[in-house]
Structure 1
Amino acid sequence: MLKELIRKNPDTPILITVPHAGDIYPDLFIKHLKVNLCEVRRIEDYQSNKILGKIDEQMADIIIAQCSRAVVDLNRSRNAIDYTMFSQVFEHEPVSEKQMIKYGLGVFPNKIFGKTILKTPLPVSYATHMLENYYDPFHKSLHKQIMYLYNIFGFCYHIDLHTMPSKALLNFKKEPDIVLGDNFGKSCSIGLSNYFQNVFKENGFTVELNNPYAGGFITRNYGNPSKGVHTIQIEINRKIYMDENKLSLKNIKILQEIFAKIFNNLKLSEKIAAE
């Protein structure tokens, strides 16, 4: 349930992941759904993979998850499990990301905009199926490709692409267009973070760093600049490229052109990565 655009002979150490654009809802999920699917779809990073549509396929490897984040959230730890949703405890690792679970947003989301979406308790077989078929393949592919690029170049630039609802930004005097998350400087070099801040600002976007999103599990888990892996999360204000109420695209060509310009001309050296 992945779309993988992997180069045979990469010229750049660039990997882009899109974990939340998926719009596939397995029958097993629908079977346990207690609300209308239209309500659930509002959690999608709606067709955000299309933002990458004009990037030269030789400039980056791209991994796109096709199963919805409402089914399994790939940007959570595998152990971010709310056992009150299930008929029994089935993993022996300690539960992680307890605050997100409290909001109903663990690896198996159970609340969207405050509304419970699943009939519970769920059988253990539900969790096993979802993890083995949707969670594990994504993270295995991501880890494999990071290591592949690292082994070739000695470092890897990993960009994790997301979109954010505009209503999540109401507290800002000037609503940001882009929020970059580098886990407060822990997931990538200052050079890479500064590069993206500057290039978006040069293209007329307002940019925030780590506010309100500093990066999720993917950023925290994979970003390790001391070992040559530089992960940065990019959040894009949805109203730039879509109608949030109608779930339809608009003006996406503007973002496509800017992302193509960024990645088709991305000439970052090992020196910048090490800053």
Structure 2
Amino acid sequence: MDFRFEAGKLPLLVSMPHVGTDIPDDVAASLMPCAAARADTDWHLTGLYGFAREMGASVLSARWSRYLIDLNRPPENTNLYPGQDTTGLCPVDTFGRERLYREGMEPDEAEVRRRLELYWRPYHNQLRAELDRLLALHGKVVLWDAHSIASTVPRFFEGRLPDLNFGTADGKSCSQGLEGAMIKLVDSQDQFSFVFNGRFKGGHITRFYGNPAGGVHAIQLEMAQCLYMNEAAPFEYRPDLAGQIQPLLRELLGAAVEWVRA
């Protein structure tokens, strides 16, 4: 399978497009040694959000590494943050600007199209199908796009990233009521810093599928990885840290479901 999927009963779909680490052998042979570390993976999110399945949420997670193709980029490869540095649909370098491909082996247009059909489209077909199923059942649905990134990445932002970075495409991908419920909840605690629509406003999934008028309310959460894991290789999961953030994540998802059912 090109993804891992479990159907739930709640009006909630948790998407994890950057947790994949697999790369087909033919593509792996063209990559530089630095690619083997998969350093830019959203590590351990399936475990961190394990409670979502217990709650009854649908969960969709990627199999393939973003080094093969980025499932959270538009198929046209347009820049989601004009004027700012980003990696593309088929990245040619790492977040640390290390070259990913051996000399002369970068994917050409035909190869990008091939990867779109083989590896990008199955994930999005499943995402769309599950949103439609949940809409038919409930009338409204929350799409929670779960991400994480190292807390310091000078290429993309200055200094240390806030702990929790919520993106709603500047309020376009979900209702103001849902965004307000999320703000109220995180504002009621002082353990974790947060921002809405800061450096990360939501990627392609949040922006494309978020359609409040059509019943789909999409929110992206980009978490600083130091909240639940070691940010240096081999990127170990830290249950002691994860146990501190998981109650808030559970509250957020629970509040989102409560809002959409109201």
Q: TM-score range by the shorter chain?
A: 0.7 to 0.9
- Counterpart for residue 237 of structure 2: 249
Secondary structure of the residue aligned to 1:160 is: strand
Secondary structure of the residue aligned to 1:43 is: coil
- Counterpart for residue 22 of structure 1: 20
Whether contact under 8 Å (1:22, 1:47) holds in the other structure is: no
Q: Deviations over 1:41-89 (max 9, x none)?
A: 1111112221111235353111000211111100101121xxxxxxxxx
| 2:176 aligned with 1:176 | no
1:209–1:122 Cα change, 3 Å: closer
- Counterpart for residue 90 of structure 1: none
Pairing of 1:51-70 with structure 2 (within 5 A): 51-70=48-67
Of residues 117, 121, 130 in structure 1, which corresponds to 2:100? 117
Secondary structure of the residue aligned to 1:32 is: coil
In 2: Cα distance, 1:202 partner to 1:98 partner: 31
| 2:146 aligned with 1:161 | yes
1:269–1:111 Cα change, 3 Å: closer
1:38–1:202 Cα change, 3 Å: farther
Q: How well do the aligned residues superpose, as a CA RMSD in angstroms?
A: 2.5
- Counterpart for residue 197 of structure 1: 183
Unaligned runs of 5+ in 1: 81-95
Unaligned runs of 5+ in 2: none
Whether contact under 8 Å (1:103, 1:111) holds in the other structure is: no
1:99–1:219 Cα change, 3 Å: closer
Whether contact under 8 Å (2:40, 2:149) holds in the other structure is: no
Whether contact under 8 Å (1:77, 1:107) holds in the other structure is: yes
> By how many angstroms is 1:192 displaced?
1.4
> By how many angstroms is 1:133 displaced?
2.6
Q: Deviations over 1:93-124 (max 9, x none)?
A: xxx33878995722101111222211325466
- Counterpart for residue 208 of structure 2: 221
1:110–1:197 Cα change, 3 Å: same
TM-score scaled by length of structure 2: 0.86
| 2:79 aligned with 1:97 | yes
In 1: Cα distance, 2:97 partner to 2:83 partner: 12
In 1: Cα distance, 2:109 partner to 2:49 partner: 37
1:159–1:255 Cα change, 3 Å: same
> By how many angstroms is 1:176 displaced?
1.4
| 2:233 aligned with 1:232 | no
1:101–1:175 Cα change, 3 Å: closer
Whether contact under 8 Å (2:34, 2:98) holds in the other structure is: no
Whether contact under 8 Å (1:35, 1:118) holds in the other structure is: no
User: For residue 6 of structure 2, what is the amino acid of its counterpart?
Assistant: L
Whether contact under 8 Å (2:35, 2:100) holds in the other structure is: no
Whether contact under 8 Å (1:18, 1:161) holds in the other structure is: yes
Whether contact under 8 Å (1:104, 1:110) holds in the other structure is: no
User: For residue 207 of structure 1, what is the amino acid of its counterpart?
Assistant: F
User: For residue 4 of structure 1, what is the amino acid of its counterpart?
Assistant: F
